[in-house]
Amino acid sequence: DNAMRLSKAISSNDVKSLILAGKFPKFDNCTIIGDLNLTSLNIDEPVYFNHTHFQNSVNFNLTTFGSSAYFIDANFEDDSYFIGTKFNSNAYFRGTKFNGTAYFTSLFNNSANFIDANFNRDVGFIYSIFNGDTYFTGLESNGPAVFTSLFNGSSNFMNANFNNKIF
C-alpha cells in the first residue's frame, strides 16, 4: 500500500504535487485550502477524499480515475467541476455535501453512489453516462437539478428529494 495518511490542512498545490509524484496519499479528514485543479490527470491508483473539506473550487475536468474514487462524506464549499471526467471504477459520493454548484458531464463505467448526497445549489448531470448501477437514494437537492443523462444500468432514486425544479 503506497498510500500515505495525512491529516489537518493541506494546500491544493501540495495535493496536486503529491498526486503528480505518484504518492497517492489518503486525503481523508483533511481540509484542502485553495482552488484544486486536477484537470486532465490520469489517476490510476484509488484516491481517498473521505470526510475531506474542500474550502475552494475543485476542478476534475477531463480527469480519468482508473481505480475507485472515494469522496464519502466530503464537503465541497465552492463549485465543483467533473466535466469530461471518466470514472473507470466505482465512484463514491455517499453523504457528500455540495454547497456550490456541482457540474457532472461524466462517464461512470462502474457503480456510482450518491446515497444521501446533499446538493445545496444547482446540480447538473448533463450528458453523463452511467454504465453501472447508480444510487441516488436519499439524495437531497435544494437548487435546480438537471438530469439529462443516459442510464445503462439500474438507477435508484428512492426517497430522493428535489426541493426545487428538476429538468
Q: Which residues contact 21 (CB under 8 A, 6 or more apart)?
A: none
- Specify the pLDDT at position 167: 67
Query: What's the pLDDT tens digit per position in 80-95?
Result: 999 999 999 999 999 9
pLDDT number for residue 1: 43
**Percent of the chain predicted with pLDDT > 70:** 95
Distances (CA, A) of 165 to 124, 128, 141, 155: 12, 19, 9, 20
Instruction: Check residue 164 and give its pLDDT.
Output: 81
| Residue 166 pLDDT level (bands cut at 50, 70, 90) | confident
pLDDT tens per residue across span 104-139? 999 999 999 999 999 999 999 999 999 999 999 999
The candidate with the shortest Cα–Cα distance to 44, out of 13, 19, 11, 74, is: 19
Residue 49 CB-half CA count within 13 A: 25
The one-letter amino acid code at 14 reads D
2 band by pLDDT with thresholds 50, 70 and 90: very low
Give me the half-sphere count of Cα atoms (radius 13 Å) on the Cβ side of residue 159.
8
